[in-house]
Structure 1
Amino acid sequence: MDNTNAQVIDTINNIQLATMAPQVVMTSGAGKAYQSVAQSTAIAVQDSADTMRNLSTIATTAIGVAMAQLLATKDPKYVEVITAAQNVISQATTEFGNVGNTAAAVIKAYPAG
């Protein structure tokens, strides 16, 4: 019985040494940090996509209303509204690209472990 207990204790000690070695702990921590940064950048891209979608909805609605008013009144001021709304969509698309590129750069530059 004493021999079995000694083997069990030795095995437990070896497992503890293997899993708690400074290099293992450091690598595991770096991997967890990388995953956290990756998740944060993914959320930033998702938020940017939501913003772009919301701005697109608002701008498209504005274009529709302005187009209806332009057709009804022939007043050229509605062309300015249409142009401004199109610019909002264009700027949102550019910003989405910037967020995506920045997120990709952050992930590429961050050590994985």
Structure 2
Amino acid sequence: MPSNVDAQIIDVINQVQKATMAPQVVLTSGAGKAYQSVAQSAAIAIQDAADALRNVSTIATTASGVAMAQLLATGEPKYAEALVTAQGMMKSATEDFAQIGAAASTILKNFPSG
């Protein structure tokens, strides 16, 4: 059964299609989606770095506690060296976290947002 569609409805549909499928609209939309994807990847990298920092902190804190207990119990200098090593682990992990955060920020700032 053929049906007659009002010319105004057809015109509105055509105008909406032109407005949403225009090359510049499609390009801008694609660039925005790409930017969001890069931003999400940067956020995940920072979250992973925070998790790594937290894990190193747990290990270093535990090692420090054990080393301190052994140092107090025995007085052996090797346990003082273990404390220095644990502090170095934390310093290195903190620097890694800062570098990853700075790199993610730079990548995101330099990525075109559309």
For Structure 1 versus Structure 2, the TM-score category normalised by the shorter chain is over 0.9
In the TM superposition, 1:1-113 aligns within 5 A as 5-113=6-114
- How far, CA to CA, are the matches of 1:74 and 1:17 in structure 2? 81
Name the TM-score, length of structure 1 as normaliser.
0.96
- How far, CA to CA, are the matches of 2:39 and 2:75 in structure 1? 51
- How far, CA to CA, are the matches of 1:15 and 1:24 in structure 2? 12
Letter in 2 for 1:39: Q
Query: C-alpha offsets along residues 28-61 of structure 1, whole Å, 9 cap, x if unaligned?
Result: 0000000000000000000000000000000000
Query: C-alpha offsets along residues 51-106 of structure 1, whole Å, 9 cap, x if unaligned?
Result: 00000000000000000000000000001111001000000000000000000000
Name the TM-score, length of structure 2 as normaliser.
0.95
- For structure 2, the 5+ residue unaligned runs are none
- For structure 1, the 5+ residue unaligned runs are none
Q: CA deviation at 1:8?
A: 0.1
Percentage of matched positions with identical amino acids: 62
- How far, CA to CA, are the matches of 1:40 and 1:53 in structure 2? 20
Letter in 1 for 2:89: V
What is the alpha-carbon root mean square deviation over aligned residues? 1.1
Q: CA deviation at 1:21?
A: 0.3
- How far, CA to CA, are the matches of 1:5 and 1:92 in structure 2? 68
How many residues are aligned here?
112
